[in-house]
Amino acid sequence: MLSASAHTDTFARDNLPPMNQWPEFNLDGFDYPEHLNAGFELTDAMVAKGFGDHTALIGNGRQRTYKELTDWTNRLAHVLVDDLGVKAGNRVLIRSANNPAMVACWLAATKVGAVVVNTMPML
């Protein structure tokens, strides 16, 4: 049985395959909270832990620190919510090559609780 969802748009959850078709999840030894936001944990939490000046991303000829990445993803997250009306559980498609901007977009969409799908133009 699934626990309560933080998503207001439950389409993705409502359309999961039957549980008997799910893989086995062995989470023994992992103490995750009931709700976890990977976008926050990979950016804001790293800054809060004192890693703000450490390199988080390298690509396109430059390096970005965790602080820079956090600021960038928070700005993108605000656009998603305030300008585009994205709500937790909405599906967001990111069509991009693998680069720092794609990572920032994925983190921002994940921070707002979106269900993110990445595609590459080459495909």
Output the pLDDT for position 21: 97
Each residue of 64-102: pLDDT tens digit?
999 999 999 999 999 999 999 999 999 999 999 999 999
The one-letter amino acid at 103: V
Strands 115-119 and 91-95: parallel
Q: What is the DSSP string of 8-59?
A: S--HHHHTPPPGGGSPP---TT----SS--HHHHHTHHHIIIIITTSEEEEE
Each residue of 7-19: pLDDT tens digit?
999 999 999 999 9
Q: Could you tell me the pTM of the whole model?
A: 0.90
* The domain over range 11-119 is classified in CATH as 3.90.850.10: no
Domain spans of the chain, in order of start = 11-119
Residue 87 near residue 9 (C-beta atoms within 8 A): yes
Q: 100-111 and 66-78 helices cross at what angle (nearest 10)?
A: 60
